[in-house]
Amino acid sequence: MTTTITEPPGRTERAATTTAKTPRRATSARRRGDRRFVAACLLPALALFLLFMIWPTLNVFRMSLYTWSGFSPQMRFVGLDNFAKLLDDEQFLRAFQNTVALLVVVTVVTMGLGLGLAALMTRQKLPGRNLYRFLLYIPNVLSVVVIAAIFSAVYDQENGLINGTLRALSLDGLQQVWLGDQKLVLYSVAFAMLWQSLGYYMVIYMASMASIPEELYEASALDGASAGRQFFAVTLPLIWETLRTTLTFFILSAINLSFVLVRAMTGGGPDGASDVLLNYMYQQAYTNSSYGYGMAIGVVVFAFSFFVSLLVSRATRRPPLQY
């Protein structure tokens, strides 16, 4: 006689459900542990970002509404008066014009030469191109202060490289006071900015161009496209996203670069001819003891940088190309 043991109704289903829920609970617990770990890793960086980036930026906006010498404990709230004074400040307007001029000229020349040299190094079999790339990249390795010292020596009126070379070639009439002439000083600073930045962006564009399949150039060559046509029809569209990124990055970094070079080479002179926004802000906040007024200039720099970045991003937007 055979005895059959029958499970109580529902016990089998409950056991299967419990078994299915166990891996889910383990997975959920693992995910919570991963989130805690990621949060623990991000928290120090986030705290430093808030402490040294967000709070100082907000403090600049707050201090722009006050009149304060920077040393006295007395602060007086003046609202938007500091910004109203900027509109009547001729030196501020001059510094703003110089900043815009440097951004436009140096950005156009740097991006244009960087693209041209990158295409030349990548598409043409130049002898010693690795040496050229190395020599062009060296300035980016040097400190900006070192570059300012180098060009201060190069532009020296008596013993500088340029005037010394002109004197040796009996071209004394072409000698100039490169950092003392109001008509030339801004171009002298612009050339130093170009020399410092060109190699870096050339290398970035070379890396981007090297990833373009050779078959695209071969196909365009079979269609009769010249080297120039290939650059504008093949190379430029396929590295457009890289160009957009570097363009925005250069504009933002050029604002800081111009300040360091101007501060170290000319101090804004002669007679404010080479002054830029950040240098004028520094003078007002830390030299003329007009800290609130200087912070108002800082707010203008912040808004200007944000507006230019947004404008460039919108103006250069296009559907990405894939290959």
pLDDT digits (tens, 9 = 90+) for 206-227: 989 988 888 988 898 888 888 8
pLDDT digits 0-9 by tens, 17-71: 555 456 677 677 778 777 888 888 889 999 999 998 889 889 989 999 998 877 7
The rounded radius of gyration (Å) of the Cα atoms in the chain is: 30
Residue 120 scores a pLDDT above 60:
yes
Tokens found for residue 71: 């040393």
CA-wise closest residue to 142 among 196, 192, 189: 196
- Omega of the bond leading into 73 within 30 degrees of 0 (cis): no
Per-residue confidence (pLDDT) for residue 79, from 0 to 100: 87
pLDDT digits 0-9 by tens, 243-281: 999 998 898 889 999 999 999 999 888 888 999 999 999
SS3 at position 169: coil
DSSP 234: I
Tokens found for residue 132: 């050229």
Please give the Cα distance from 80 to 75 (Å, whole number).
Answer: 15
Please give the Cα distance from 295 to 292 (Å, whole number).
Answer: 5
Tokens found for residue 192: 């130093």
Average pLDDT (96-116) is: 94
The domains of the chain, with CATH numbers, are 77-315 (1.10.3720.10)
Per-residue confidence (pLDDT) for residue 21, from 0 to 100: 54
Q: Using alpha carbons, list the distances in angstroms from residue 20 to 8, 12, 16, 183.
A: 20, 12, 6, 80
Per-residue confidence (pLDDT) for residue 9, from 0 to 100: 52
Q: Using alpha carbons, list the distances in angstroms from residue 197 to 68, 109, 130, 298, 322.
A: 37, 11, 18, 24, 29
Asked whether the beta carbons of 244 and 250 are under 8 A apart, the reply is no
Judging by beta carbons within 10 Å of its beta carbon (0-12, 13-18, 19+), is residue 323 exposed, middle or buried? exposed
Average pLDDT (237-246) is: 90
Residue 1 scores a pLDDT above 70:
no
User: pLDDT band at 290, cuts 50/70/90?
Assistant: confident
Average pLDDT (198-210) is: 91
Residue 318 scores a pLDDT above 60:
yes
Q: What's the one-letter identity of residue 296?
A: A
